[in-house]
Amino acid sequence: MFEKKMKMAALDKVDINGGFWKEYMELVRCRMLPYQWEALNDRVKDAEPSYGMANFKAAAAGKGEFRGRVFQDSDVYKWLEAVAYCLMWHPDKELEATADGAIDIIAAAQQPDGYLDTYYILTGIEKRFTNVMDNHELYIMGHMTEAAVAYYYSTGKRKLLDAAIRYVDCVDRHFGREEGKLRGYPGHEVAEMALVALYGVTGDERHLNLARYFIDERGQEPLFFKEEREKYHNEYKWKDSYFQDQYYQAGKPVRDQEKAEGHAVRAVYLCTGMAEVASKTEDGELFAACERLWKSIVEKQMYITGSIGSSEYGEAFTFDYDLPNDTLYAETCAAIGLVFFARRMFEITKDGRYIDVMERCLYNGIISGVSLDGQKFFYVNPLEMLPEASKKDFYKRHVDVERQKWFACACCPPNVSRLISSLGGYAFEQSDSEIFVNLYVNGNFRTEIAGCTAEIQTETSYPWDERVSIRVKTEREAEFTVAVRVPDWCGNWTVSVDGGEYTGKLQKGYLYIERKWNGTSVIELTLKMPVRLMAAHPRVRDDVGKTAVMRGPLVYCLEEEDNGAQLQEIYLPEDARFEQTYDPELLNGVVTLKADGLRLTEAEWGEETLYQEYRGQHFDSQKLTFIPYYAWANRSVGEMTVWVHMK
């Protein structure tokens, strides 16, 4: 019963050909991938060098220095994975040749026993597996495997896949409960989901078993990382933290974890792996842990933008309802990981609330990480920006005022690339008898269902417009279900099928339109998109008395560029009326929201007065302009806020 009911659409069957996401996909394909390849080869001027390819070349040559962070290999793998996805919907011989060339170098770096982590190959392979906690060898194996599986699906080429299998087998010989093996598991998770994906290709039970072992062994007493630290005198960066080994989600068995804790990216990557293993092994207890952690995240620890990770220290979760808007971490990768987790939970449950969160992340906390030209990136995605604070408040020094060209730790840019390039798979999911329309894109999904070839054609200007037209085409009569998602944000929707009103009930966020399809039918969905003023639970201390403006799936914000500085002085009347305008010239085309707002006057305050007796709140009126949050910081450095005082 925990087996996945749905699987994502194969990317070569989905042709997204216009609209919001097509622009991002083309940005990835035409700009980000070429740019990132330059970055991985240290050819971007004035950017932090990556050393990604240089390390592989040195390892292949058997000589040279390792440079960059210990996990640098993974950026190359994430790039390869994104390339694999792009090739599925946009064949490109040149790009494929570049990737093949990279794979040749990678394969040449592999050691005779299958080991492949350039850090230890270049700095002393005899020290490998002595700091599994922090040195990312198993993380790299995971990303290698994810790339290898994707590249195999995309091109049919086995070179990277075979190399990954050899590395996995090498790890399998060293880790496990058997005598003489290390009872370790990844310090940074990702291998768990990767191994299940590999199992999907190989059918080799050892690959699934290794994933299951990693999950079950994690956090068992005696704690492996603790013993490893003691044995090898590894630095324990978290000895002063309250979360201790839970930084790695390794302080107690995953089934005993009640709350999402520790490093946020690791946590959601773990959850994704847990869901995969629970599904493949019909492990109800493990699935219950997934649900518990999901609720802990989205009901207690998630920003309205879908971002997670309230604290820079440990890039971590903190505690329930602790969601500061300015000192947060909210790493782009963490929101991406939450999308991974959401997709698995949906595939197991067919519950639309998981896609609601996925959509929240995609339209807000993830693409906020990328500049509109696809060449600069945020690692941290604040909901409030005061540039002076980033400079002068040490606790906000990690909150960049503008997107950066590259990072010494560059996990986010290629992670965005691999997500966006596989977006078609998130838009459509299917089972033997059901096609789910999860995201509203402009495009076609061709598939075999109920013994027939069918095509779903969607047309929309979502998220700017409320109308989504879904054309269902079959070669001949075939009975199956088209499940159309109605997002949680939409309280007022209509749907018709071939012009007739559809009266089915909403079930867990879906309209199950089941019929004998024949020829072409049209489902017309209208998702009313009024501007919504959102409130946070009163336990969220930082948002009390404030509202966040949303329209459709988009969270909006105020920027200094449009509204002046000192945004904390701005109040939005609770009965504000919004002028909604699509401006094709602005920020690559966005709907702006304008309203009559208020600004606390400074007139009654001298420069010399810091405190005075309260004399009522006095305001000047001010026209406010809200723009979509994801598009902030694309025009100038300045203040920004999502949460606005409400009057």
Cβ-based nearer residue to a copy of itself, 321 or 502: 321
Q: Residues near 342 by Cβ (< 8 Å), separated by ≥ 6? A: 354, 355, 357, 358, 361
Cβ-based nearer residue to a copy of itself, 419 or 644: 644
Q: Which of 113, 227, 258, 388 binds a copy of itself (CB under 8 A)?
A: 388
**Dihedral sign (CA 159, 163, 169, 172):** negative
Residue 232 Cα distances to 128, 132, 183, 225, angstroms = 11, 11, 15, 10
**Residues 91/148, Cβ–Cβ less than 8 Å:** no
Size of the site for a copy of itself (CB under 8 A): 65
Q: Which of 568, 580, 588, 622 binds a copy of itself (CB under 8 A)?
A: 568
* CA 406 remoteness from chain centre: 18
Q: Which of 177, 181, 392, 623 binds a copy of itself (CB under 8 A)?
A: 392
Chain residues 39-58 in contact with a copy of itself, contact rule CB under 8 A: none
Rounded CA-CA distance 109/58 in Å is 8
Q: Which of 219, 309, 314, 365 binds a copy of itself (CB under 8 A)?
A: 314
Rounded CA-CA distance 409/331 in Å is 12
Residue with token string 């998770």 = 189
Cβ-based nearer residue to a copy of itself, 321 or 493: 321
Total Cβ atoms within 10 A of residue 241: 15
Rounded CA-CA distance 573/647 in Å is 5
Judged by CB under 8 A, which stretch of 9-17, 64-72, 587-595, 599-607 contacts a copy of itself? 599-607
Q: Is 585 exposed, middle or buried (0-12, 13-18, 19+ CB in 10 A)?
A: exposed
Chain residues 74-103 in contact with a copy of itself, contact rule CB under 8 A: none
Phi/psi of residue 269, nearest 5 degrees: -65, -40
Is residue 600 a contact point for a copy of itself (CB under 8 A)?
yes
Cβ-based nearer residue to a copy of itself, 302 or 482: 302
DSSP H or E segment with residue 384: strand 384-385
Is residue 637 a contact point for a copy of itself (CB under 8 A)?
no
Cβ-based nearer residue to a copy of itself, 128 or 599: 599
Q: What is the CA radius of gyration of the chain?
A: 25
Judged by CB under 8 A, which stretch of 7-15, 209-217, 249-257, 564-572 contacts a copy of itself? 564-572
Rounded CA-CA distance 329/467 in Å is 35
Q: Which of 540, 554, 558, 624 binds a copy of itself (CB under 8 A)?
A: 540
Rounded CA-CA distance 192/250 in Å is 14
Is residue 582 a contact point for a copy of itself (CB under 8 A)?
no
Is residue 295 a contact point for a copy of itself (CB under 8 A)?
yes
Q: To 5 degrees, how large is the angle CA 260–CA 262–CA 268?
A: 55
**Residues 510/436, Cβ–Cβ less than 8 Å:** yes
Is residue 9 a contact point for a copy of itself (CB under 8 A)?
no
**Residues 362/344, Cβ–Cβ less than 8 Å:** no
Residue among 217, 276, 315, 639 flagged as catalytic = 315
Nearest approach in angstroms of CB 569 to a copy of itself is 5
Is residue 156 a contact point for a copy of itself (CB under 8 A)?
no
**Amino acid making up residue 169:** D
Is residue 453 a contact point for a copy of itself (CB under 8 A)?
no
Q: Which of 74, 311, 415, 422 binds a copy of itself (CB under 8 A)?
A: 311
Is residue 26 a contact point for a copy of itself (CB under 8 A)?
no
Q: To 5 degrees, how large is the angle CA 417–CA 401–CA 28?
A: 15
Cβ-based nearer residue to a copy of itself, 450 or 600: 600
Is residue 503 a contact point for a copy of itself (CB under 8 A)?
no
Is residue 492 a contact point for a copy of itself (CB under 8 A)?
no
Q: Is 265 exposed, middle or buried (0-12, 13-18, 19+ CB in 10 A)?
A: buried
**Residues 532/489, Cβ–Cβ less than 8 Å:** yes
Q: Which of 318, 371, 474, 563 binds a copy of itself (CB under 8 A)?
A: 318
Cβ-based nearer residue to a copy of itself, 28 or 595: 595
Residue 315 annotated to the active site: yes
Nearest approach in angstroms of CB 328 to a copy of itself is 11
**Dihedral sign (CA 71, 76, 79, 85):** negative
Q: Which of 467, 471, 532, 594 binds a copy of itself (CB under 8 A)?
A: 532
Q: Which of 95, 535, 587, 637 binds a copy of itself (CB under 8 A)?
A: 535
Judged by CB under 8 A, which stretch of 66-74, 103-111, 404-412, 526-534 contacts a copy of itself? 526-534
Is residue 123 a contact point for a copy of itself (CB under 8 A)?
no
Q: Which of 235, 319, 453, 476 binds a copy of itself (CB under 8 A)?
A: 319
**Amino acid making up residue 190:** V
In 3D space, the residue among 404, 421, 332, 331 whose CA is nearest the CA of residue 80 turns out to be 421
Is residue 538 a contact point for a copy of itself (CB under 8 A)?
yes
Strands 570-572 and 590-600: antiparallel
- Please tell me what DSSP assigns to residue 9: P
Is residue 646 a contact point for a copy of itself (CB under 8 A)?
yes
Residue 151 Cα distances to 16, 201, 427, angstroms = 20, 12, 21
Q: Which of 13, 166, 218, 300 binds a copy of itself (CB under 8 A)?
A: 300
Is residue 602 a contact point for a copy of itself (CB under 8 A)?
yes
Judged by CB under 8 A, which stretch of 53-61, 298-306, 455-463, 495-503 contacts a copy of itself? 298-306
Cβ-based nearer residue to a copy of itself, 499 or 616: 616
Is residue 614 a contact point for a copy of itself (CB under 8 A)?
yes
Q: Is 522 exposed, middle or buried (0-12, 13-18, 19+ CB in 10 A)?
A: middle
Rounded CA-CA distance 182/189 in Å is 17
Which tokens hold the place of 94? 């040149």
Site string for a copy of itself, 226-265 (x = CB under 8 A): --------------xxxx----------------------
Residues contributing to the site for a copy of itself (CB under 8 A): 240-243, 295, 298-300, 302, 304, 310-314, 318-319, 321-322, 327, 386, 388-389, 391-395, 397, 491, 532-541, 544-545, 547-548, 566, 568-569, 574, 600-602, 605, 607-617, 645-646
**Residues with catalytic roles:** 315, 411
